[in-house]
Amino acid sequence: MVSFFRRKKPDPSPPASSERRYSAEELAAAFPDARRSETMPASSDPGTTASAPTAPAQLAPFEVSAASPAIPSEIIAAAMDVEPFVSAPAGAELLPAPAAQLQVENATTQDKPAAAPGKPGWRERLRGSGFARSLGGLFSRNPKLDDDLLDEIETALLTADVGVAATTQLLEALRRRMKSREFADAQALLGALRAELLAMLAPVAVPLRIDPEAKPFVLLTVGVNGVGKTTTIGKLARRFKDENRSLMLAAGDTFRAAAVAQLQAWGDRNGVPVIAQGENALGKGGDAASVAFDALQAAKARGTDVLIADTAGRLHTQQGLMAELGKIKRVLVKVDPRAPHEVLMVIDGTTGQNALSQLRQFHAAVGVTGLVVTKLDGTAKGGVVFALAREFGIPIRFAGIGERPEDLRVFDAEAFVDALLPGTLGA
């Protein structure tokens, strides 16, 4: 009787010799990076053969070869401007993407066509901005000329990141003229608002002029993380090459992984030499100041027309990193007392009022002489351009209204205002 109950009692720890057989689906989920094409190992018994699995193993989205070197996905993604691939967690089921979804993903990865030339291109790309939607919707319903209309205009300007100071300046001028009975109707008020906005931007709509006496003309790009400095450099390289200028790039972003590889890809695409230092295993390497020094010496020796120096993105609140920008500028001055001839700060158009503090700190560190406002074709509200113009008066050289190199436009104040505000009521 005792032996009977002992035989029926479950053993919590099975012997080490006991084996559990896993299905192909369980093995595929537990080891997503393993090859699915491998067959089951042959049985130790020579008289038997390995049987095929009952259900075929599902293929992983990407096959990783064991012989290839292990390159971090973050480095590859940064160099190719794509999101890094993340393997599915253990136990997750890998399903093939539907055909419709694959078509949508392939369509989104292709470059969009460049914006139409002239004002139509500006209007097409900026009509989705917060500024154009709020004020355009306000004047599209033929509003009545009264104080309520001015209050609605004030609210629309503030929500579009124009800022308190610039909005107050605009509204005071409009109220003063309305009390003087200068406006016969809302159409006259709309025309006055367009004129006031244009007058605010006209002094800063100054194109970049390359000094032919400077050999090379040194252009130093600065900005916080993720504003698109390296991409802007690539687009500027395309513009200068189309102008038949000899060009050189300096890969001064030695902090971000694969930033050097990304700039070299732009250089290969445009046929422009890139001066860089060796990278470590993480895709970083070199000192930014020494890279700028070597690049300027090489550009002077080759008689290059333009040298564009990239720098690492940094938060304007980090004083130590901001001091490094001053070091780069001092090193350039040792080679050419006039260098850099242009300090171009790249600002993300979606940043909002924080762009004012960024420009204030960068201007104190290196003396910004020109601005590039990017990503205006996305969710940017657009009003920060007016706040920057009023606060600092620094020339806005270029504006990014698309992904193509041709979409980096010379800033046109009239086309910008025309794209944000309708010309007539109800338009």
Residues annotated within the binding site for GTP are: 223-230, 310-314, 374-377
DSSP state at residue 371: E
β-bridge mates for residue 248, sequence order: 307
Q: Which two tokens stand for residue 107?
A: 């369509």
Type of residue numbered 247: L
φ and ψ of 150, to 5 deg: -65, -35
Q: Cα 195–198–204 angle (5° rounding)?
A: 155
Q: Which two tokens stand for residue 254?
A: 């030695």
Angstrom distance (rounded) from CA 133 to CA 129: 6
Dihedral sign, CA of 402, 407, 408, 410?
negative
The DSSP element (H or E) to which 46 belongs, if any, is none
Angstrom distance (rounded) from CA 424 to CA 427: 6
Q: Which two tokens stand for residue 202?
A: 């006209």
Angstrom distance (rounded) from CA 46 to CA 49: 7
Q: Which two tokens stand for residue 354?
A: 């924080």
Angstrom distance (rounded) from CA 192 to CA 186: 10
Measuring CA to CA, which residue among 270, 275, 282, 269 is closest to residue 298?
A: 275
Annotated binding site: 223-230, 310-314, 374-377
Is 274 within 8 Å of 267 (Cβ atoms)?
yes
Q: Cα 231–201–378 angle (5° rounding)?
A: 40
3-state secondary structure of 346: strand
3-state secondary structure of 218: strand
* Residue 191: other Cβ atoms inside 10 A: 14
Angstrom distance (rounded) from CA 124 to CA 404: 15
> Who's near 228: CB < 8 A, 6+ residues apart?
346, 348, 374, 375, 400
3-state secondary structure of 236: helix
Is 251 within 8 Å of 289 (Cβ atoms)?
no
φ and ψ of 107, to 5 deg: -70, -35
